[in-house]
Amino acid sequence: MALDSDIDLTGFVTSYLIPLGWKLAGAIALWIIGGWLINMVSNLSSRSMTRQKVEPTLVRYLEATLRVILRIVLVIVILSVFGIETTSFAALIAAAGVAIGVAWSGLLSNFAAGAFLIILRPFKVGDFISGAGITGTVKEIGLFATTIDQPDDVRTTVGNNKLFSDNIVNYTANPSRRVELFAQLAHSVAPQQAMELIRNRVAQIPNVLATPAPDVEILEFNAAGTRLVVRPHCHNDHYWQVYFDTNKTLAEIGSANGWPVPAPHQVLRQQV
């Protein structure tokens, strides 16, 4: 009886465990080698598209799509090693895709929105945009989400569908951007003289564009005096530098010319 048990155990190990072990080893080897090949193919395709001057946004999107497709193919190959019928598996994937599509309709809508973002190109990687309540520089347009770095160095990931369904403001699309500031003058300050001084000094601020020239106009007359609007133009990269330098220039002009601090004036008349 002991001899028969030894024979059965040896036969089980020989017939089942050893072939299974070889299949597992082969599957692991395929996963490692396949992953390496996928990375190599993706990198080669990315470099090839970059050499052909394909837009970086489209390069990253196509590279991510290629990686996903190749991973699915790799999984099917590995399953075939274990003797699983791949045609049945393909049918299973199709059925699972329908079920997942119903359950993850939001995820698929993000995927579709990502495709539209690539095709319609309201922005690209590197653009400074505002959308879905987020403002910052676009770092990546992925399959399902877009990565944006905000000005305070906070990285935010926004679903493509949420971004695509919202109003998108692209600050980088045009060659220049207008800075809009206001200057409140006291009643005793002559508006025309102040406007000329401000216009000349603002034009000398670094990175302020000569064309279009800075606008300095009277916006309104209020209880404190005359309110001016100051509008220099600059490249988007220099927006905040011009913004703050213009404020400093307004303060310097007022101090150098002895302009009084504007304050609301009221005249009370007593009826006799």
Domain boundaries, the chain: 2-103, 120-170, 177-256
Residue 3 has pLDDT above 50, yes or no: no
> What is the pLDDT, as a whole number, of residue 100?
54
User: Quick one: which of 161, 68, 155 has its CA closest to 114?
Assistant: 161
Residues 6+ apart with CB under 8 A from 68: 143
Mean pLDDT (whole number) for 139-158:
91
> What is the pLDDT, as a whole number, of residue 113?
87
Beta-bridge partner residues of 188: none
Mean pLDDT (whole number) for 177-183:
95
> What is the pLDDT, as a whole number, of residue 2?
47
Among 27-36, 125-134, 138-147, 253-262, name the one with the lowest average pLDDT: 27-36
120-170 adopts what CATH topology? SH3 type barrels. (2.30.30)
pLDDT in tens, 209-261: 999 999 999 999 998 999 999 999 999 889 999 999 999 999 999 999 999 98
* Cα distance between residue 184 and residue 228, in whole Å: 6
Beta-bridge partner residues of 130: 135, 169
The more confident residue out of 255 and 86 is: 255
Q: What does each C-alpha distance from 148 to 61, 142, 155, 185, 272 come to in angstroms?
A: 15, 11, 6, 40, 68
CB-CB contact of 66 with 44 (8 Å): no
**What's the token pair of residue 83?**
């003797």
The more confident residue out of 206 and 107 is: 206
pTM comes to 0.59
The CATH code for residues 177-256 is: 3.30.70.100
The CATH code for residues 2-103 is: 1.10.287.1260
Task: Dihedral sign for Cα 48, 54, 55, 60, please.
Answer: negative
HEC letters along 20-61: HHHHHHHHHHHHHHHHHHHHHHHHHHHHHHHHCCCCHHHHHH
Please report, as a single letter, which amino acid is at residue 35. G
The more confident residue out of 220 and 270 is: 220
CA atoms within 13 A on the CB side of 168: 22
pLDDT in tens, 93-116: 665 555 555 545 566 788 888 888
Instruction: Provide the b/e sequence for 183-206 (b: ≥16 CB within 10 Å).
Output: bbbbeebebeebbebbbebbeebe
How many C-beta neighbours within 10 Å does residue 74 have?
17
> What is the pLDDT, as a whole number, of residue 91?
60
